[in-house]
Structure 1
């Protein structure tokens, strides 16, 4: 139980802006080990966004506006951590001609046209998918499932790919233990099936895995492995996929 609570603190402190102090007794590989509970924290993030969505709908806000408000609340909670990764990957892979130049662009804090377009598409697709869900509580379930499933891509990519750099967030996180990966994937599957139902849940899992797998292959070819930005981009792609699956009739 102490280990679980420590991992929840580490995961919450990493994935959100909540004032959670890093545990004093945390081992060097604490972040990698905490990835088994990433889906739990992700579900909580999605639930918070879902409550903002349901509240906005309850006040009579149009569905699309409520969806954008929910995504804004989620971005505030996470500090737009994953959106930043998506923008950096889009700029780097779109504008870099070789590995060194791609990594240089990804490290640049400025955002370019590829990154801007990626963010517009990500927010637009997620908002449109959420707005297509008629029931407020179905939207809450979809956001919680998307939060859980999409955060399971982080330990998966860490297991599939070597770090592209010797420094940075991706390299510093370490490799998630096989047990942590198995637990994370299991939790993601449970959340998807329980919250979305068998059909939509299976579709969400498949649709989330496909872009994460494709991005992993692209990252291996372009830069030789993963970075923190690649992990963030994978989360965003998976979240879009899950919400689109949930919105499908």
Structure 2
């Protein structure tokens, strides 16, 4: 048995830093939500190296938690005998409150930039502007309206499961988007994170699929296909419009993917209910 060296009087062993995955998961939760979280230690040194990029692998699990929060509100609204559409709007309002409208803001900026910009530089300039134009307002109206209408068509248990699955699936393709596309700007968080490792992409895809399989069962496969096709469509549009991705593009991709998942599930489950 190895003998431990004697420690000087009064000396204490330095605490081991938390493993990378706890920092990465916590960073994903901090980035995607407004939840007040206790610090898990300083994010510096080796932990900081690539942490924002690695955190994207945990986005689907955080998205599932956001969706479950919205599902809880939908269930409470049903218990209060509110109309399904009112419950759906309240559920979406809860998720927006939890995320601070992060993805909705990105979708509105992309709609304004892609719809109103004459060239690539002008589109990026508009996307960075904090003001919301007519294209952005319309994007938000359609995003909320389509998701609420699809959600209202589902029975309560299926709606709760759909929100959890949509929260995960709409974020599982974002890591792949970040790996396939280059940043459209030389500055900003998207540019600083660099190219994502394939392990991060796989973690995001596997965790998103696992959540959907547990929540949905058989309909998980078409829901996954809808989410990935939606993200791919936004990625193709972003490549053509601005030559790459930005944080706003991630938000737009999430919104389109979530709407696609809920529409798919409303067609498959709502019609059979």
Structure 1 pair 185–98 and aligned structure 2 pair: CA distance change class (3 A): same
CA deviation profile, 1:192-249 (whole Å, cap 9, x unmatched):
2221222x21111111111211111111121110000001100001100111111113
Counterparts of 1:23 and 1:172, CA distance in 2: 22
Where in structure 2 are the equivalents of 1:192-207 lying within 5 Å? 192-198=212-218, 200-207=219-226
Q: CA deviation at 1:23?
A: 4.4
| Residue equivalent to 1:186 | 206
- The size of the alignment, in residue pairs, is 247
**Which of 176, 181, 185 is matched with 1:156 structurally?**
176
| More displaced stretch, 26-35 vs 41-50 | 26-35
Q: CA deviation at 1:104?
A: 0.6
| Structure with the largest fraction of helix | 1
Larger radius of gyration: 2
RMSD of aligned alpha carbons: 1.3
| Residue equivalent to 2:35 | 18
Q: Is 1:60 matched up with 2:81? A: yes
| Residue equivalent to 2:12 | none
Q: CA deviation at 1:22?
A: 7.0
Are the equivalent residues in 2 in contact too, given 1:13–1:22 (CA < 8 A)?
A: no
Q: CA deviation at 1:8?
A: 1.4
Q: CA deviation at 1:39?
A: 0.8
Q: CA deviation at 1:10?
A: 0.4
Specify every segment of 5 or more residues in structure 1 that has no aligned partner in the other structure, as ranges.
none
Are the equivalent residues in 1 in contact too, given 2:170–2:227 (CA < 8 A)?
A: yes
Are the equivalent residues in 2 in contact too, given 1:196–1:246 (CA < 8 A)?
A: no
Q: Is 1:241 matched up with 2:260? A: yes
Structure 1 pair 170–47 and aligned structure 2 pair: CA distance change class (3 A): same
Counterparts of 2:168 and 2:211, CA distance in 1: 7
Q: Is 1:75 matched up with 2:75? A: no
Counterparts of 2:258 and 2:41, CA distance in 1: 29
Are the equivalent residues in 1 in contact too, given 2:174–2:231 (CA < 8 A)?
A: no
Counterparts of 1:22 and 1:10, CA distance in 2: 10
Tell me the TM-score normalized by structure 1: 0.95
Are the equivalent residues in 1 in contact too, given 2:33–2:98 (CA < 8 A)?
A: yes
Where does structure 1 differ by over 4 angstroms across 4 or more consecutive aligned residues?
Answer: none
| Residue equivalent to 1:37 | 58
Q: CA deviation at 1:169?
A: 2.6
Counterparts of 2:209 and 2:261, CA distance in 1: 12
Structure 1 pair 51–168 and aligned structure 2 pair: CA distance change class (3 A): same
Counterparts of 2:78 and 2:21, CA distance in 1: 35
Are the equivalent residues in 2 in contact too, given 1:10–1:22 (CA < 8 A)?
A: no
**Which of 142, 154, 165 is matched with 1:121 structurally?**
142
SS of 1:28's partner is coil
Counterparts of 1:23 and 1:9, CA distance in 2: 11
Are the equivalent residues in 2 in contact too, given 1:163–1:225 (CA < 8 A)?
A: yes
Specify every segment of 5 or more residues in structure 2 that has no aligned partner in the other structure, as ranges.
1-17
| More displaced stretch, 164-173 vs 18-27 | 18-27
SS of 2:178's partner is helix
